[in-house]
Amino acid sequence: MRPVVADTIPVRVDDPINARILAVSEDRIHGFVRDPIGQIARQCGLDVPLVVERIAAMLRAGTIRRVRQTLLSTSLARGALVAWQVPEEKLHAAFDWMFQQDPFSGHVVIRSTDGATAGSRYRLWTTLKVPQGFSLEKHCRLLCQRTGAVAFKLLPARKLFVLGVGHVRRRGLAPGSKSEHLADAIDTEPIELSDLEWRVLLALKREFGPHEIAGELWRPRAQEAGVSLEEFYRVSEGLSARGVIGRFSTFLEHVKPLSSGERVTRFNALFHWAVPPGRELDAGRQVGRFHIMTHAYWREGGSEFGNVNIMGVAHGTDKALLLEHKRAIDQHLMAEGIAVRYTNVFWGGRSEIKPSEISPPAYEQWCGRMGVEARQMRENAGTTIALAPYT
């Protein structure tokens, strides 16, 4: 068989074979599996060498942003969605600092609303994780000091209903498309890990380079963790059973153009709903049924955000169509007897995404770089450093 020249391998998302692969590889491989590439190939109905070739080529070309095993980090670290109030003249500098200097801030997004509404003065939104034992509030106050943010609102998830991506397979969804079944409600309480589990986990979650995409992914990672391949499998499967492992995933850019000039999505919508207290689980499980939703949570927004308690994210290439999807969800909630007392949409603009670091040693090292003693950032420690006021 004639060897394939790398430059001739299609790397566009709209290539039929690539689209077939991505429809599975973005978010269909759940938990830890010993052979994720083989699983993708089987679900696509393609040969493993072809899947390896295409994923590696798309990763080299930048069509795929990263390939990695994701974690359900809400089980490993304290986390929250954070809304930041930043003076307009400092907004983009604060964005840059959080993306470039804070490895514990994951998604960094500048958002806006279609009019002046509850919470619209909060323009900068981030996801934040800090390792167990450290304080989210102290971390945010330190970020205020470094970025000029004047206020922040911590919005921890009380329950998760949807956590996925799957932009390619969501293309062309009709408004109202939903599962026959209610979404599960997933707890967010952190669990304790042993030193061995942390070693395996840190090797497991590291991104794959193009040269590492192969039929057998995990043997080098087992060596990195200092364990046999069978021990690596045993620990990883145990972590998966405990709800720590998310999915094996190939990530695409959410909004920015790909190297090919394609856009996978154009609009990133954060939907807010205020439902009656006591109906949060019902509402979240209903919202999570809708196929357009990539994320859905129970989060308490408080008076700053119209007392919203259900939030979710949807992506698309057409703003009007996304609003049709939202109207279908609104109407369904009302039909289920769940009153929507207030609702809003925060549209994403400039955005950057990276995995949030969750390693305790990495946090201690970061504190050193920030000139702060790590012990002062712990939840049970008195604060002796000057932090920006929390409003």
292-326 pLDDT, tens per residue? Answer: 999 999 999 999 999 999 999 998 888 999 999 99
- High-pLDDT (> 70) share of the chain, %: 91
Residue 370's nearest CA partner among 123, 98, 152, 153 is: 98
Distance CA 89, CA 177 (A): 41
How many residues are listed for the chain in this entry? 391
Beta strands 105-112 and 310-316, pairing class: unpaired
**Token digits of residue 194:** 């042993």
For 247-296, what is each residue's pLDDT tens digit?
899 988 766 666 666 665 678 999 999 999 999 999 999 999 999 999 99
pLDDT value of position 252: 82
pLDDT above 60: residue 5: no
Please tell me the predicted confidence (pLDDT) of residue 278. 97
Q: Does the pLDDT at position 101 exceed 90?
A: yes
Q: Check residue 387 and give its pLDDT.
A: 46
Global confidence as pTM: 0.81
8 A C-beta contact, residue 331 and residue 319: no
Confidence category of residue 381, pLDDT binned at 50, 70, 90: confident
Per-residue confidence at 2, pLDDT binned at 50, 70, 90?
A: very low
* Separation between Cα atoms, residue 269 and residue 48, nearest integer Å: 36
Within the chain, how many helices (H) and strands (E) appear?
12, 12
What tokens does 141 get?
């106050």
